[in-house]
């Protein structure tokens, strides 16, 4: 008999079975044909989802070619909520503080991570909504020092920054049109970045962190737009990762240039607390 380890992940995306602290073991006879195994896995998934439904997630199975433990497990967390999130106002590079709900969310995710396998390092965007979230986690996980990296900042959205999103089309039509463009090389008027530039800088940052921390578990606190770019790097042909909620936990395994996702969009630490409702951002309108 063999065991299949399962973990919530986004559709179309691969993940590694290691560090499986919340996995479910399903006995599967190795003599079964592949079609029978697939059926059993699908039935098991349905039962597991019924007993412990995720927050709008689905599951996929994969294995990684990097099986000797020489990879980094990177726990990527979105910052806590801000007043601008709650108001639907675009932040981008503007330095907005956490609101009270965001501080509570940060405390809850910090408490959760402190009870999981050891964290070796904490990295963060240098914008204070991410940095304060990271500092809360670092203090709870052994008093670690937070390492800041501007490459983990949210996308610079130029003229749109500071505007309420629903009013942006009227107040800054050219920037709004550029923002909604399907061209990934489209800059935003007013010094804003293209999606290609955002992708390059944030994936390069995570790759550097992964190369430095092989065999370790580290936390990276960043922003919705950044995390969506990281998802795209790990799952270039997968479906959309959906909305990235405040303080959601997204676990990546980096083995050299190979990226896989172990879990995605986990906000179980916010269940039953009154802080699950997320403000604006984390999706295609992230900012």
Q: Which of 136-140, 198-202, 267-271 has the lowest mean pLDDT?
A: 267-271
Question: Which residue did the predictor score with more confidence, 249 or 242?
Answer: 249
17 pLDDT higher than 70: no
- At residue 32, the pLDDT reads 38
CA–CA dist 64, 93 (Å, integer): 36
Tell me what the mean pLDDT of segment 96-110 comes to. Answer: 96
Residue range 128-156, pLDDT digits in tens: 999 999 999 999 999 999 999 999 999 99
Spell out the residues 6+ positions from residue 4 whose beta carbon is closer than 8 angstroms to its own: 25, 26, 28, 41, 44, 61
Which one is catalytic: 15, 73, 79, 159? Answer: 79
Of 175, 150, 155, the residue nearest 165 (C-alpha): 175
79: annotated active-site residue: yes
Spell out the residues 6+ positions from residue 33 whose beta carbon is closer than 8 angstroms to its own: none
216: annotated active-site residue: no
Give residue 287's pLDDT band: very low, low, confident or very high (50, 70, 90): low
DSSP 196-231: HHHHHHHHHHHHHHHHHTTT-EEEEEE-HHHHHHHH
Say if residues 179 and 156 touch (Cβ distance below 8 Å).
no
Which one is catalytic: 15, 73, 93, 154? Answer: 154
Residues belonging to the binding site for substrate are: 78-85, 129
Chain centroid offset of residue 45 CA: 22
- At residue 126, the pLDDT reads 98
Q: Rounded to the nearest 5 degrees, what angle is found at the Cα of 155, between the Cα atoms of 252 and 149?
A: 60
Tell me what the mean pLDDT of segment 238-258 comes to. Answer: 93
220 pLDDT higher than 70: yes
pTM for this model (two decimals)? 0.79
- At residue 147, the pLDDT reads 98
60 pLDDT higher than 80: no
**Domains of the chain: which residue ranges?**
72-270
DSSP 250-264: EEEEEETTEEEEEEE
Residue range 155-180, pLDDT digits in tens: 999 999 999 999 999 999 999 999 99
HSE-up (13 A, CA, CB side) for residue 64: 27
User: Tell me: domain 72-270, CATH 3.20.20.110, correct?
Assistant: no
Residues belonging to the binding site are: 78-85, 129
């Amino acid at each position: 008999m063999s065991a299949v380890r399962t973990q919530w992940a986004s559709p179309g995306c691969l993940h590694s079975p290691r560090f499986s602290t919340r996995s479910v073991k399903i006995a599967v006879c190795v003599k079964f044909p592949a079609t029978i195994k697939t059926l059993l896995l699908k039935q098991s998934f349905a039962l597991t989802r019924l007993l412990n439904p995720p927050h709008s997630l689905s599951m996929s199975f994969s294995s990684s070619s990097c099986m000797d433990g020489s990879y980094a497990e990177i726990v990527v967390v979105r910052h806590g909520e801000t007043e601008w999130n709650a108001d639907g106002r675009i932040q981008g590079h503007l330095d907005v503080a956490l609101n009270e709900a965001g501080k509570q969310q940060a405390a809850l995710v910090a408490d959760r991570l402190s009870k999981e396998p050891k964290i070796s390092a904490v990295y963060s965007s240098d914008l204070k909504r991410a940095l304060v979230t990271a500092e809360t986690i670092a203090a709870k996980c052994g008093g670690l020092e937070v390492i800041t990296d501007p490459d983990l900042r949210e996308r610079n959205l130029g003229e749109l920054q500071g505007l309420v999103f629903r009013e942006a089309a009227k107040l800054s039509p050219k920037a709004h049109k550029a923002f909604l463009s399907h061209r990934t090389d489209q800059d935003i008027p007013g010094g804003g970045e293209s999606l290609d530039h955002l992708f390059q800088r944030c994936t390069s940052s995570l790759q550097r962190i992964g190369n430095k921390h092989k065999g370790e578990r580290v936390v990276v606190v960043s922003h919705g737009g950044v995390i969506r770019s990281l998802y795209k790097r790990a799952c270039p042909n997968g479906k959309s990762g959906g909305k990235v909620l405040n303080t959601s936990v997204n676990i990546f395994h980096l083995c050299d240039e190979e990226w896989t996702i172990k879990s995605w969009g986990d906000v179980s630490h916010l269940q039953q607390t009154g802080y699950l409702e997320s403000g604006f951002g984390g999706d295609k309108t992230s900012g």
